[in-house]
Structure 1
Amino acid sequence: MSSGNQRWRGALALIIGGPIVAAGMAAPTAGADPGSEVEQAVATARGASSCGALQHNATVEQAADIVNRSTASYLDHSSGNVPADDPKPTALLRDLGIETDNAITLLGAGRNAPDAIKALLLQGYKEIPNCSYADIGTSLRFEEDTGFVIVTAILVGP
């Protein structure tokens, strides 16, 4: 098995059998420690490459939360606007003070946190190992109305 496949299996094993499941059956809340499980899963998927670790960035986390909240309000029909889920969130980041042309939004959803994170990892399998990204911000929300967990990760480079 290639080292790339081992990293992805490790990331999936982490979300399936790791701290998310061990934390109990309670669903994550919108205000709960935003995305630490997501960052850990992305870090595992990225592996010990020559890229170095992604650094948590509170402003990028704020952007990820804006995307997640706009998606949630769109899904529950409380917003008349489409979600702020642009795959290249440079305008959103610029509004928050980060000047870059190198950013990607990864999204996931599922009936539980492990499934939502797995969806995000599958969407980002080509982008996560990209060494041009240095910062990460994430958001994980449980939406009571729909019963879905939605998750967003934004990766940003210089």
Structure 2
Amino acid sequence: MSSSSQATMSSEDVDCSSNTKRLHFLLIPLMQQGHMIPMVDLARLLAAHETLVTFATTPVNLNRIRPIINQAAASSLPIRFVELCFPVVDVGLPEGCESVDLLPSVELMLPFLNALSLLRDPLEAHLRIPDKVGWPKPACRISDNLHH
């Protein structure tokens, strides 16, 4: 994996030969608890209907939803969670400010929104990595309207 993204917990031990025929969704929520949790719920609903799901977010946000990730992994649903490096320093945000509700002041909202566009390169880099377990490239991306 590149330093810009890494795969984390998943339930990928599904029959690899059948994966290439399954629809694959890529979910990219806005980094805010009120968006993250419903998007995880959507991931679980999609995966329960014979689809593959990749959920992409940042390390801090993955840690914040760790119990939900653990439940998804225990359910054996085909969901994988991918960490994307969030460029907080590049846009002048304090370390760890990877969610709207973690911003210490409203003045940092614009730099946070600017950082969202910088997630494109790590996401594209992750998508270029050949899949080891035979998942097809995502056929559908579902993201919040602030992810361009």
TM-score by length of 2: 0.33
TM-score by length of 1: 0.32
Higher relative contact order (CA 8 A, sep 6+): 2
